[in-house]
Chain A
Amino acid sequence: MFQWFDERLEISRLYNKFLRKAFPVHHSFFLGEIALFAFVVLVLTGIFLTLNYEPSIREVNLPDGSTVPAAYASVLYIDSLPFGAVIRSVHHWSAHIMVAAVFLHLLRVLISGAYKKPRELNWLIGLGLLGLTIVTAFTGYALPYDNYAVTATRIGYGIGASIPFVGGAIAEIMFGGEFPGSTHSVPRLYSIHVLWLPLTLIALIGLHLLIMVKQKHTQPKYAEKVAPGKILGVPLYPQQSVMMGILFLVYLAVTVFIAGAFIAHPIEAFGPPTPQTPAVKPDWYFLWIYGILQVIPSEWQFRFFGAVIGPEFIGGVIVPGILGAVAALLPFVDVSKDKVRYLELPSEHPVRTSVTLGVLMFFIMSTLAGYKIDLNLSNAVLWTLILVVPVLTGVVSYILLKALYGRSWERSSAEPQAAD
């Protein structure tokens, strides 16, 4: 059979050229693969959900006589199907896992210096993928149309609408009118969630992988001694493919187990939307923004060319925008003269590692501020935590790194660097 196909399609040439591509072996590459498999599972489970979901808020009657939105009723129907609740839960958990995996993958690229020449473009695409992943997850959040999801989505709607000049247009494009209330919102969010954003994600993931294959992985440093100037790895087929197969199955095992044991968004517990607003918080990946919004005083408001710059815009758009801009500019500020071929050791780049830990602490402290009311913390305490603890973390990390690895920095700076 192989010979029959080979004579017609020259498959052996494909094998020799593409399937023998060398894949370096290092555990840190699995983070990107986990993100990829989360996306694959999201698409597969999403296809099942679209077959049974009704994107509408028209009122329907349940067998118990209650009247609920059709979207809510269709999710109850999905949950009643054999294995249906688990598949919906896998979809929900995979969205969370993808956001976490993309973030950790980005963190790995950051602390190993893999964003530098020649991978600046892929770093920018990676940042875009993180943003798109979060937006895609957000647009899916309101689709079950339960009381919790509607209230949580309204926070995002408020942030989007607060952007001066273009906020109204963005909210109109994303929600098709006032949210909640407009009958166009759910169909609009549904279309964006299942079609436009996934298509964009597929295109960007494809581009990300294509550039990665062209530019090759950053290799673990020992490869410099074993095969200098070469890419050392295992062939894509069969060895790397088997490892990817094992990882995909492990992904399925872990996610389906968690999804079965912990139904992530049990809409029966929340009920259909009511005039009473439940005490909700946005999803965890927005919690740090929500925390900043909690500590910004409401009087921080001024006019700029006729537009109102309010706390929602400052906390929800300006602060994340500054962080995003800094991340985007990083490969053009922290430049490398030669191509980076090997994973840089975080211990040998103390400033970058310390700043990264400081930024991580900023996210953690801002997230903590999201629990301002629950923990009964004052604004003064939270501002101190948000501003001082990250700086302190960075300084202490630097001192510790210097104490532990200072001698190895001196040795490595004395060694001659390989030319490009």
Chain B
Amino acid sequence: MYRNDTVIPWFAILFAVALFWMSYLNGQHIAGLAGHTPEELSVGQIGLMAFGAVLFMYGFMGLMSNWLEGEELRPIRHFPEPSTAPMVAGIILVLLLTAMGGFYVRLLIYSAQTGHNPTHLQGGLFAVMALVIALLLATYKKFYEREEAVTEDEHSEVPW
């Protein structure tokens, strides 16, 4: 709580993993990983997984924030020096995104033509595409965006 630390985010991720693990303690195997089988999750499992998902996102973003924004802000401007490595990483990510975008469209066409919805594949592919765009944004922020920490008066005129 004192600063933008990594302790609580790491703990949140560990806790999230534990919650996902707990949600299968009743012996029910992972539903739907082998395709969309109409197998229901119990309300308890859904609750544990919902908290697990929030804690995972929170922990992941907490670590991301620590990496991109640091532990403590100082009122200063930072001008990053462009370099080749992040640009190469960006190009690879864009190529990956393009390929996956094409595959995703093919998957939708396949579903429309056959009536078969492989939800695990559709969801997984969309998730990876969203994650790749998130990584592109993170790369931009880390290596190309001009950083600035500002101070604001407590009684500023925003919004009134």
Q: Is B58 an interface residue (CB 8 A)?
A: yes
Q: Is B140 an interface residue (CB 8 A)?
A: yes
Count of A-B contacts with CB under 8 A? 268
A104 to B54, CA, bound (A): 9
Binds B, one of A214-222, A385-393, A394-402: A214-222
Contact between A27 and B8 (Cβ–Cβ < 8 Å)? yes
Cβ contacts B22-52/A at 8 Å (1 or 0 each): 0000000011110010111111101111110
Q: Is A383 an interface residue (CB 8 A)?
A: no
Binds B, one of A241-249, A322-330, A411-419: A241-249
**Distance of B59 from chain A, by nearest CB (Å):** 8
**Distance of B20 from chain A, by nearest CB (Å):** 10
**Distance of B101 from chain A, by nearest CB (Å):** 14
**Distance of B64 from chain A, by nearest CB (Å):** 6
B134 surroundings in chain A (CB, below 8 A)? 245-246, 249-250, 253
A230 to B133, CA, bound (A): 35
- Known contacts: A96-B50, A254-B53, A268-B38. The answer to whether A234 contacts B68 by CB under 8 A is no
Contact between B54 and A100 (Cβ–Cβ < 8 Å)? yes
Contact between A261 and B54 (Cβ–Cβ < 8 Å)? no
Other A-B contacts than A227-B75, A257-B123, 4 sampled, CB-CB below 8 A, are A21-B152, A230-B151, A232-B150, A260-B123
For the complex of A and B, 7 pairs with smallest distance between CB atoms: A260-B123, A284-B47, A27-B62, A257-B127, A82-B111, A249-B134, A96-B50
Residues of chain B whose beta carbon lies under 8 Å from any beta carbon of chain A: 1-5, 8-9, 30-33, 36, 38-44, 46-51, 53-58, 60-62, 64-66, 68-70, 72-75, 108-109, 111-112, 115, 117, 119-124, 126-128, 130-131, 133-134, 137-138, 140-141, 145, 147-154, 156-160
Residues of chain A whose beta carbon lies under 8 Å from any beta carbon of chain B: 17-18, 20-22, 24-28, 30-31, 34, 79-80, 82-86, 89, 93, 96-97, 99-101, 104, 112, 148, 210, 213-214, 216, 220-223, 226-227, 229-235, 238-239, 242-243, 245-247, 249-266, 268-270, 281-285, 287, 341, 343-346, 367, 371
